[in-house]
Copies of this chain bind each other. A is one copy, B any other.
Amino acid sequence: MPNKHVKEMEALKEHLGKHQLKLTRQRELILSAFLRQEHITAEAMYHQLAKSDPHLGLATIYRTLNLFCDAGLAQARHFGTQTQYDNISHKGHHDHLICTDCGKIVEFENCDIERLQEEVATQNGFIIKTHRLELYGLCSRCRH
Contacts and interface: CB of A to CB of B under 8 A. Distances in A.
A124 B95 CA distance: 13
Interface in A81-133: 81, 97, 99-100, 106, 108, 110, 112-113, 116-117, 120-121, 124-133
A116 B120 contact: no
A94 to B, nearest CB: 12
Contacts of A125: 139-140
Chain A contact residues, majority secondary structure:
strand
Contacts of A108: 120, 124
Given A113-B116, A116-B113, A124 B97 contact: yes
* Copies of this chain, count: 2
Contacts of A121: 97, 135, 137
A140 B133 CA distance: 23
A143 interface: yes
A138 interface: yes
Contacts of A116: 110, 112-113, 116
Interface of A: 75-81, 97, 99-100, 106, 108, 110, 112-113, 116-117, 120-121, 124-140, 143
